[in-house]
Structure 1
Amino acid sequence: MKLKNSLLLLLTATIWGVAFVAQSVGMEHVGPFTFVCARSVIGGLALLPVIAVLRQTGTNPKQTREEGRKARRALLLGGVCCGAVLCFASVFQQVGILYTTVGKAGFLTACYILIVPLIGLLFGRRCGAKVWCGVGLALVGLYLLCIKDGFSISLGDGLVLICALLFSLHILVIDHFSPKVDCVKMSCIQFFVCAGFAAVGMLVFEQPSWEQLLAAWAPVLYAGLLSSGVGYTLQIVGQKGMNPAVASLIMSLESVISVLAGWLILGQTLSVRELFGCVLMFAAIVLAQLPERIGGARRAAASD
């Protein structure tokens, strides 16, 4: 189960890493609130037929009226919380990218790998020493991968740091609700809630038009169907039952994958420094996975 969840989160990171190109291109035609609103509507609509098919083919466990009421309440509350946090995190990221470099934005966004276990401590979620070593190793790898011309804090950097904090909260909210609800339904609700919040900002701060959306149809469609509809749904399913700190480490590979995608698809070169950063990131993921397996082997050996 843990291996399956890890692979789902790795696929999520791959989709998000490649989607960075779509986000950058889309922002050339529409504002951040419009982009987030459009992609979220597409993501939500894409999941409706999936939910319908699962309802026809799945088997619903028997529940009392009280159990059903609690399940629906948890599903609605989880979807609203996830959608609200996702909206603000996405908007802060989109706006922050306008005022900082792509490298800094990638590094600062992925700082959720440090923020998640720190916040988790407040709620009694402890991590082993190897997970913390993995976090530190990943941060060094991200720095080598993303930061090239010194490090300073600007307005855009501050906005992306807020985005990293919000994405950390999003991961922890999913960790709380995913064991209790239907993950696909919660993902669908979160997209429509996210779209609703983004629509308010779109109407207040931007002047969207159909011409702008048509000009950005390809990146919006990719971000909506794959990055939102598939990616965030896989995140919810993959995080179910996983340590959120380990999950955040796996998903932070989106920074590595975005660089590799630029190398493979766009022909961008990778320096020795960047390659070493990629190696450190992958090593951090492997290290974070070791505690349970080694601990489990020792317990098994002791019982023999």
Structure 2
Amino acid sequence: MDSFGPEEIILKKSLLADGALLLVTMTWGLNFVVMKNALTKITPYLYLGIRFTLASIFLAIIFNRQLRKLSKEELKGGLIIGLCVFMGFVTQTIGLLYTTPGKSGFITSIYVVLVPFLAFFLTKEFPGWFQVLGAIVTFTGLGIISINEDFTINIGDALTLLCAVAFALQIIYTEQYVKKSNPINIAILQTGVTGLLTMVMSFWLEPFPVTIDPMIWTAILYAVIFCTAGAFAIQNIAQKYTSSTHAAVIMGMESVFAGLFSLIFWGETMTLRTLFGFSLIFGGVLITELMPAIPPKPADVRTLEEINK
């Protein structure tokens, strides 16, 4: 049998983590269309409350032994990440009422660009000029698809941009806490916090439904199993073996899947302006994350070596 060294094992774990995150991203992309359809028959806070409460219960039942060993650090991490998830999904879901699945997916993907800038406030490390360039390109694309002829911004697009900020913070804090805590316990807590807060908001702000359409339960169960319980558990475990910026660029593919599924299942019309804006957003995401990965030229390496000498 072939034996693998530490570096090969780390590489395999990293590749598995990346593959798992890509699968999560695909399910999230499809859920933009599923959720858009569901919101025509159920109020947004109730949808989120049921979705996240069931997801938390589902995870707690399966991993009850791990939950019994909950630490203070996991409790703190779960509460902080849970608040970020709550803010992200509330703004995204309400925003989706006023925008299309494709636009929602692409605007949400801006969190990829925001991660290094928000991390800067925590680490005080300059994100790099490629990140600055990527941010400029991305926000140019956002302006093209979101700013109307009278220079106003659709309320749905504005809320979705706030959602991107919240998800960027979620990724940063997830990396911070899962590498020194149990990722499953944090996933249980973050879904539980989101479920509790959105259910409270539903009782406070929305009329209580007499019945819920059976078809809505199909959409909710899809979101519970694949997009919430499974997705956050996989994301938290995967981020033990990859960085927040690496995870962000993979999950940025969510926008591509959202646009594709919106075109196929929702029949969203893609104008040249919209496609150009989408292209700029996606291009900005790639610039932000892929350009820093280009190794320096041999001449640059020799120069550094000479300086070190």
TM-score category, normalised to shorter length: 0.7 to 0.9
State how far apart, in whole Å, the 2-side matches of 1:161 and 1:134 are: 16
Q: Residues 48, 76 of structure 1: CA spacing in aligned structure 2 closer, same or farther, 3 A cutoff?
A: same
**1:9 pairs with 12, 21, 26, which one?**
21
Residue correspondence of structure 1 range 109-120 to structure 2 within 5 A: 109-120=108-119
User: Is the contact made by 2:36 and 2:101 (CA closer than 8 Å) also made in structure 1?
Assistant: no
Aligned to 1:294: 295
1:244 Cα deviation from its structure 2 partner: 2.2
Name the SS for the 2:179 alignment partner.
Answer: helix
Aligned to 1:73: 72
Structure 2 gaps, min length 5: 1-12
Once the two structures are superposed, what CA deviation does each residue of 1:22-47 show, in whole Å capped at 9, x if it has no partner? 21111112111101111102211332
User: Is the contact made by 2:147 and 2:153 (CA closer than 8 Å) also made in structure 1?
Assistant: no
User: Is the contact made by 1:131 and 1:245 (CA closer than 8 Å) also made in structure 2?
Assistant: no
**1:48 pairs with 35, 43, 60, which one?**
60
State how far apart, in whole Å, the 1-side matches of 2:91 and 2:269 are: 29
1:288 Cα deviation from its structure 2 partner: 2.5
Aligned to 2:251: 251
TM-score (norm 1): 0.77
State how far apart, in whole Å, the 2-side matches of 1:244 and 1:135 are: 17
Q: Percent identity?
A: 24
1:104 Cα deviation from its structure 2 partner: 3.9
User: Is the contact made by 2:102 and 2:258 (CA closer than 8 Å) also made in structure 1?
Assistant: no
Aligned to 1:207: 207
Q: Residues 136, 230 of structure 1: CA spacing in aligned structure 2 closer, same or farther, 3 A cutoff?
A: farther
Q: Residues 135, 235 of structure 1: CA spacing in aligned structure 2 closer, same or farther, 3 A cutoff?
A: farther
1:195 Cα deviation from its structure 2 partner: 0.9
User: Is the contact made by 2:133 and 2:287 (CA closer than 8 Å) also made in structure 1?
Assistant: no
State how far apart, in whole Å, the 2-side matches of 1:116 and 1:76 are: 23
Aligned to 2:189: 189
- Letter in structure 2 aligned against 1:281: F
State how far apart, in whole Å, the 2-side matches of 1:220 and 1:88 are: 19
Q: CA RMSD in A?
A: 3.5
1:293 Cα deviation from its structure 2 partner: 7.2
Residue correspondence of structure 1 range 56-205 to structure 2 within 5 A: 72-124=71-123, 125-130=125-130, 152-205=152-205
User: Is the contact made by 1:107 and 1:147 (CA closer than 8 Å) also made in structure 2?
Assistant: no
Q: Residues 133, 51 of structure 1: CA spacing in aligned structure 2 closer, same or farther, 3 A cutoff?
A: farther
Once the two structures are superposed, what CA deviation does each residue of 1:251-302 show, in whole Å capped at 9, x if it has no partner? 121110112224455677877874995698389549735645736x998xx9
State how far apart, in whole Å, the 1-side matches of 2:29 and 2:215 are: 23
Aligned to 2:31: 19
TM-score (norm 2): 0.76
Q: Residues 51, 138 of structure 1: CA spacing in aligned structure 2 closer, same or farther, 3 A cutoff?
A: farther
Q: Which moved more, 1:131-140 or 1:153-162?
A: 131-140
State how far apart, in whole Å, the 1-side matches of 2:28 and 2:129 are: 28
Once the two structures are superposed, what CA deviation does each residue of 1:138-171 show, in whole Å capped at 9, x if it has no partner? 6667778x66976741333332222222122212
User: Is the contact made by 2:115 and 2:172 (CA closer than 8 Å) also made in structure 1?
Assistant: yes
Q: Residues 220, 134 of structure 1: CA spacing in aligned structure 2 closer, same or farther, 3 A cutoff?
A: same
Q: Residues 289, 240 of structure 1: CA spacing in aligned structure 2 closer, same or farther, 3 A cutoff?
A: farther
1:98 Cα deviation from its structure 2 partner: 1.8
User: Is the contact made by 1:83 and 1:193 (CA closer than 8 Å) also made in structure 2?
Assistant: yes
Aligned to 1:58: none
Once the two structures are superposed, what CA deviation does each residue of 1:78-129 show, in whole Å capped at 9, x if it has no partner? 1111222212221111112223344443333222223222111111254355
State how far apart, in whole Å, the 2-side matches of 1:261 and 1:100 are: 15
**Number of matched residues?**
285
State how far apart, in whole Å, the 2-side matches of 1:223 and 1:113 are: 22
State how far apart, in whole Å, the 2-side matches of 1:262 and 1:30 are: 20
Structure 1 gaps, min length 5: 56-67
User: Is the contact made by 1:97 and 1:156 (CA closer than 8 Å) also made in structure 2?
Assistant: yes
